[in-house]
Amino acid sequence: MDWAVITSNAKFLLLQGLVGIGRFGGGTLALAIPAILLGFVVGIILGLSRLAQRPWIHYPAATYIELIRGIPLVMVIFWFWFIVPLILRRPVPEYWIALTAFVMFEGAYIGEIVRGGIQSVPRGQVDAATATGLNYRQMMWNIILPQAIRNIIPSLVTQFIVLFKDTSLASIIGMMDLTKAAQTVTARELRPFEMYLFIAVVYWVFTYSMSRFSQWLEVRMSPEKAPAS
């Protein structure tokens, strides 16, 4: 055991790998935070589309969600790694490929959560909104979505934790994130045990605090539920 390898490389691991400040770009947080925000937007669009009445909106959305949920994330990343440069007809940095892949992948999962949230809003709310003369957009935006999103906040946070852990897969296509930074340092220092244990702890600190936050939210938002013992 030689933990000096951690302290001497901590700056590279945390600044470049975790935050993404440095000449390699990338960064776990720099990927995870935009992916969470954009994935949420794509998820709401997909969730609403899946609930749409018109079949030409409903079926493509449903097919897309089932397709994405049926294949591994690695496969999705490879697809985007292959397709994005083809469509844009020029080389694309790994960061943008990874971001696209994560947004489209998590969007499918968040879409299912959003759909569940919308379906959990009592039917009477829709009728009441219609009766007061609101149109579809006003009803969704002002009445249904606020309630739906409040119901699904715990599952959303859980999904964001999954996304945060999944960003480690961006290292497979060579994006410089925490995992890739650890691989790079290991290739030079030959201290894999200490290195991978260290980044495991770094990942853990983030995911565990997010999951405690989600538990706190869940208790706070449903006062009738006693704290889990």
Binding site residues, other proteins, CB under 8 A: 1, 66-67, 69-75, 78-79, 82-83, 85-87, 89, 158-159, 161-162, 165-169, 171-172, 179, 182-183, 186, 192-197, 199-200, 203-204, 207-208, 211
Q: Output 37 or 162, the one with its CB closest to other proteins.
A: 162
Q: Output 131 or 224, the one with its CB closest to other proteins.
A: 224
Minimum distance of other proteins from residue 135's CB (angstroms): 33
Q: Output 3 or 208, the one with its CB closest to other proteins.
A: 208
Token pair recorded at residue 70: 């049926």
Minimum distance of other proteins from residue 87's CB (angstroms): 7
Q: Output 49 or 171, the one with its CB closest to other proteins.
A: 171
Minimum distance of other proteins from residue 62's CB (angstroms): 13
Minimum distance of other proteins from residue 43's CB (angstroms): 16
Burial class (CB in 10 A: 0-12, 13-18, 19+), 164: buried
Alpha-carbon separation of residue 39 from 6, 67, 82 (angstroms): 33, 17, 20
